[in-house]
Amino acid sequence: MAEAEGRRYPFKGIEEIDRDVLETFPYEHPEREAVVTIETEEFSAVCPYSGLPDSGMLRIAYVPSDRCVELKSFKYYLVSFRDVGIYQEHAAAVIFEDLQALLAPRWIRLELDYRVRGGIRTVVTLEKGERPVAWGPPGR
């Protein structure tokens, strides 16, 4: 429970993020530099300062090494953020770090583009590894 601007809004701590639900499956073509892209417009969490909901577009692209994330498990993982009080920058970093630990991809890029609230748009981008040729130059 947090108190913001004289009001009390219940939300959970980051320990409630359900990493255990994440599953993978073997990538059968590790010799190929395939870019796997995942997008959702339904990412949501709670601002720990105001207690108000935040939502945005989450885009992930990665080149698998030997495994891929199973999408239903990834959806359940993302749903576990809904009631968690976490700053936008931290949400992006947590997802990025969890996917790196789960997949050990050759390359990964995450972009979390939050909806405008109060006239301010926030976009958090993280990237690690050698950018694949198929993905193109930086800035894409």
Among all residues, which ones are annotated catalytic? Answer: 47, 54
Cβ atoms 85, 47 nearer than 8 A: yes
**Nearest alpha carbon to residue 59 among 110, 114, 124:** 110
SS3 (DSSP) at 80:
coil
Q: Helix-strand-coil percent breakdown of the chain, rounded to 5?
A: 25, 40, 35
Query: What span, in angstroms and rounded, lies between the C-alpha atoms of 124 and 23?
Result: 25
